[in-house]
Amino acid sequence: MTEEKFTWSPEDLDNFDPKTALSEPGQYPYTRGIHSEMYRSKIWTMRQYAGFGSAEETNERFRYLLANGQTGLSTAFDLPTQMGLDSDDPMALGEVGRTGVAIDTMEDMERLFDQIDLSKVSTSMTINATSSILLSMYRAVGMKQGVDAVKLRGTIQNDILKEYEARNTYIYPPAGSMRLITNIFEYCSKEMPLWNTISISGYHIREAGATAVQELAFTFANGCDYVKAAMNSGMDVDSFAPQLSFFFVAQMNFFEEIAKFRAARRIWARLMKEKFGAKNPKSWTLRFHVQTAGSSLTAQQPDNNIVRTALEALSAVLGGCQSLHTNSKDEALALPTPASALTALRTQQIIAYETGVTNVVDPLGGSYFIEELTNKIEREVEAYLRRIEEMGGATVAIESGFIQKEIQDSAYQDHVDIESGSRVVVGVNQFVDKEEEDIPLLRVDPKIEIRQKEKLARIKQSRDNVLVKQRLAELEEAARGTDNLIPYIIRAVECYASVGEISAAMKKAYGVFRPPITI
């Protein structure tokens, strides 16, 4: 595809067989969607990402969004929680409750879901290095509510490979991290069958500067490594593959994003069926969440971000997503206010109920341009996958710095394009206003850190510390062996061991990861 070409015809689809490349919606290879009727039978889950300050503040935002028509929860955690640090850790200074909700012990989790019936809502948790701990806490809260683990629905991100590649909230070296992930696969396949055990994430890879092709290629390379790790641990592919899910971005290149989602379904279906030998059709289907692009939001002229988000969300819907988060207009400046978060939710609702796009499955299917763009993305992704496979897989490519370097190079080129003006960003490098609009912003109370430390101190004083010490010692010993660690982590959180204490026990067994230097 070249920039000079601006019209497409049947000749551009030479040797294109719709029966094999497309099939019908709900049929392999799922190019046109994973369900035969798609949104005609069930609209995507509206899952707005939320979390800041204390568990009580985030609980209030959750209940506000649910009252206004949100249909699923999505939880943002602060950096200390993501990095396995307690709020009283010196390394957490200044970060408690800043970029998400602070969770130290199961008491915080209990407050986070106060008055929210976990039997009636699905919850996504954007957590990776400490995903096993937060999943165990969620399970424990559900049990205290009287909801059996087999009925809990939701997703943990649990995608540590992309942390090494693009986001850097890792703790342990790859081997220890992969063991935790496969332990979660195994545990949930038996004890939490409705839970999505991983959200293999291209979102952060793309937000770090990758292209659309790299987003899919590196995400699927990571996915292949997770599948291989689980199979190498003795699991049958069809025992865990139906619980795999994905997380992609919707960027501003409207048609490219639609084609990307269509290509993604086809690539994953063929990987699972032909490469890994999965026999269950549910193992072939790529189920994915989409978030509109944070990197496309501008601090300048923030009202323009509402338009950007609406267009990105529409591309996700036309591409067939299963759930969607729409960013708020103020997120280039601060965490969203309740008013801007409501506008973002209303954006989804307007697309769903006013535009008529839910009445037709894959309405752009058959367009010469869309089909050729879908094919082109597929070809380029598969070329990347072959290259990474020849290196030994995603983990090896990460350890060598190859994937990180590819992302860095693409990010640099994007920056050059914006600086030179060859890529226009309204309000930034063209159509600039001299006087910028001043809008109300959400400010996180700096006293949250003090209050969080006080709560943690009270918990540590009131709990059975002898039992906590015993549970942590058992976890460390198990981490040095071969047992599934999830039951040990569950027992630790149930006696109110903290995120930091549990992470420290596993650090003793696994050590910590130090990234390679790439030039």
Which segments of the chain belong to CATH 3.20.20.240?
A: 50-156+436-519, 159-166+199-239+246-431
Report which residue type is found at 166.
Answer: A
pLDDT at 96 over 70: yes
Residue 103 clears pLDDT 60, i.e. is over it: yes
pLDDT of residue 16: 82
**142-170 pLDDT per residue, tens:** 999 999 999 999 999 999 999 999 989 99
pLDDT band at 18 (very low <50, low <70, confident <90, very high): confident
399-428: pLDDT as tens digits: 899 999 999 999 999 999 999 999 999 999
Phi, psi of 291 (to 5 degrees): -120, 135
Task: State which CATH number among 3.30.540.10, 3.40.50.2300, 3.60.20.10, 3.20.20.240 fits the domain covering 159-166+199-239+246-431.
Answer: 3.20.20.240
Query: What average pLDDT score do residues 77-104 get?
Result: 97
| Res 518 pLDDT > 70 | no
Of 262, 190, 181, 189, the closest CA to residue 225 belongs to 181
Longest dimension (CA), the chain: 74
The closest alpha carbon to 195, from 208, 207, 205, 186, belongs to 186
pLDDT, mean of residues 347-375? 96
DSSP of 43-85: PPEEEEEE--BSHHHHHHHHHHHHHTT--EEEEEB-HHHHTT-
Average pLDDT value for residue range 435-450 = 90
pLDDT recorded at residue 224: 98
* Domain topology for 50-156+436-519: TIM Barrel (3.20.20)
Q: Does pTM top 0.75 for this prediction? A: yes
Q: What percentage of the chain exceeds 70 in pLDDT?
A: 99
Give the mean pLDDT of 267-294. Answer: 98
Binned at pLDDT 50, 70 and 90, residue 435 comes out as: confident
**What integer best gives the mean pLDDT of the chain?**
96
User: Which of the pair, 458 or 515, is modelled with greater confidence?
Assistant: 458
Contact criterion met (CB below 8 Å) for 497 and 468 = yes
Tell me the mean pLDDT in the region 259-274. 98
Taking alpha carbons only, the member of 347, 393, 464, 429 closest to residue 227 is 393
Percent of the chain residues past pLDDT 90, beyond the cut: 92
36-56, pLDDT tens digit by residue? 999 999 999 999 999 999 999
- Supply the pLDDT for residue 1: 45
Q: For Cα atoms 85, 90, 91, give the angle at the middle one, nearest 5 degrees.
A: 55
- CB-based contacts of 401, cutoff 8 Å, min separation 6: 516, 517, 518
Closest CA to 323 of 292, 281, 364, 346: 292
Give me 473's structure tokens: 């010692």
The pair of structure tokens assigned to 209 is 């500067």
* Size (the chain), residues: 519
Query: What pLDDT, on a 0 to 100 scale, did the predictor assign at position 17?
Result: 84
Q: If pLDDT is split at 50, 70 and 90, which confidence band does 517 have?
A: low
Place 124 in a pLDDT band, splitting at 50, 70 and 90. very high
The token duo for 477 is 């010993």
Q: What is d(CA 213, CA 380) in angstroms, rounded to the nearest whole number?
A: 7
Predicted local distance difference test score (pLDDT) of residue 127: 97
Q: Average of pLDDT values for 492-507?
A: 98
Q: Looking at residue 516, what is its pLDDT?
A: 67
Indicate the pLDDT class of residue 361, thresholds 50, 70 and 90: very high
Vertex 25 angle, CA 23 and 28, to 5°: 55
Find the range with the poorest average confidence among 21-25, 177-181, 269-273, 350-354: 21-25
Q: Would you tell me the crossing angle of helices 304-318 and 338-354 to the nearest 10 degrees?
A: 40
Residue 434 has pLDDT above 90, yes or no: no
